Chain A
Amino acid sequence: EPEVTQTPSHQVTQMGQEVILRCVPISNHLYFYWYRQILGQKVEFLVSFYNNEISEKSEIFDDQFSVERPDGSNFTLKIRSTKLEDSAMYFCASSGAGGNIQYFGAGTRLSVL
């Protein structure tokens, strides 16, 4: 069964450093999403992406965040200057159409020291 793949599974970084989290969505999907889950808290929406542009973003998704689809298969989340409070599990998701089932990856655990 097709699945969403995220790498790395765990990323450790120093505060102030840039990180790039990578995702390979399901191949024929057109809509891509990033969510995060701080330990013990709700899953929170960050951003949705369609047709090579952001379609919606939350208030969490400020100027330190950016997303990109650099080629036909990858979808990345860049955090420019990490803060301690960015430590969380980051989930990528994709769907065939907006409003359809979203399929989630296993997540990348980001630890900012």
Chain B
Amino acid sequence: KQEVTQIPAALSVPEGENLVLNCSFTDSAIYNLQWFRQDPGKGLTSLLLIQSSQREQTSGRLNASLDKSSGRSTLYIAASQPGDSATYLCAVGTGNQFYFGTGTSLTVIP
């Protein structure tokens, strides 16, 4: 069964810093990988989707990379802002479902 791990569990950074969130998965036979943002008590907002054939995706200040063979993905956030404070979830897709990590809780301090 696919296991998804996210490190660190929590991260606190001053505003303006660049940061990297890590996601690892045990089975490299994935279809795609999606990064989400979850605000407290809210639903999940899709940030980026990387197909298994891709190496990275970019959206604004966000860049996600995928190394399928090593079972790793990273989410890079440039020039962090207080509004980026949320929990970031990595989810590995097998075509019909996603396996989620436990998330990284990010706090950006003004």
Inter-subunit contact A104/B96 (CB<8 Å): no
Q: Classify the secondary structure of B's interface with A.
A: strand
Number of A interface residues in the complex (CB < 8 A): 23
Residue on A nearest B101 in the bound complex, by CB: A42
The answer to whether B43 and A104 touch across the interface, beta carbons within 8 angstroms, is yes
Interface residues of B (CB under 8 A from A): 31-32, 34, 36, 42-46, 49, 51, 89, 91, 93, 95-103
CB pair A42–B49 under 8 Å, yes or no, is no
Closest chain A CB from B99 CB (angstroms): 7
- With A43-B100, A55-B96, A56-B96 as contacts: A100 and B49 at CB distance below 8 Å: yes
In the complex, the answer to whether B99 meets A45 with C-beta atoms within 8 Å is yes
| CB-based closest 3 A-B pairs | A56-B96, A106-B43, A43-B100
Bound-state Cα–Cα, A58 to B94, Å: 13
Known interface pairs A43-B89, A43-B91, A99-B31; A104-B100 also in contact (CB < 8 Å): no
- Known contacts A33-B97, A42-B100: does B43 contact A102 (CB below 8 Å)? no
Q: Are B100 and A44 in contact (CB under 8 A)?
A: yes
Contacting residues, chain B, for A104 (C-beta < 8 A)? 36, 43-46
Are B49 and A101 touching (Cβ within 8 A)?
yes
Residues in chain A near residue B43, CB distance under 8 A: 91, 104-107
